Amino acid sequence: MAVSLLIGNHWTPETASRYVLRGESPTPKKLASVALRVTTAGRLREAGFAVVHTTGKIKDSPHVSVVFPAVRPFDEFEVPWPPAVSERFGACFTGDGERGGAAA
C-alpha cells in the first residue's frame, strides 16, 4: 500500500483538494471533510517508511508516495499495513489537521 502526499508547506485544505480533483473546486460538503496534516520526509524515513517522488505524467509534480517498509519500496511492501505501522505513520504528523470548513 502506498499513501499519497503532497510536497510543500503552502497547501490549504482547498488548494490540496483542487490538486486532487485536477483543478475542480471541491463542494462545500467535500471540503468540510478534508483535514490537512503536516510532516517531513525525514520524520517518515526515520519511522521506517520510504518517501518516493512519484510525479506521474505531471512535470514537477508535488506528489510523493509513502510506502512501508522502506527497503525495495515498490518490489515488496505490506498491504494492508499492520495496525502498529498505521499508528507509526500517524505519529509522524503534527496536530489534528487544519480543517477545510463547515458543510453548507
What is the maximum span of the chain, computed from C-alpha positions, in angstroms? 45
Instruction: Tell me the pTM.
Output: 0.80
Q: Encode pLDDT of 61-102 as tens digits.
A: 899 999 988 877 667 666 788 899 999 999 999 877 777 765
Question: By the 8 A CB rule, do 36 and 97 touch?
Answer: yes
* Cell numbers that stand for 56 in this block: 506521474
Own/partner contacts of 2-6, CB < 8 Å, gap of 24 or more, are 2/54, 2/65, 2/66, 2/67, 2/77, 3/65, 3/66, 3/67, 3/89, 4/63, 4/64, 4/65, 4/66, 5/39, 5/51, 5/63, 5/64, 5/65, 5/66, 6/62, 6/63, 6/64
Average pLDDT for the chain: 86
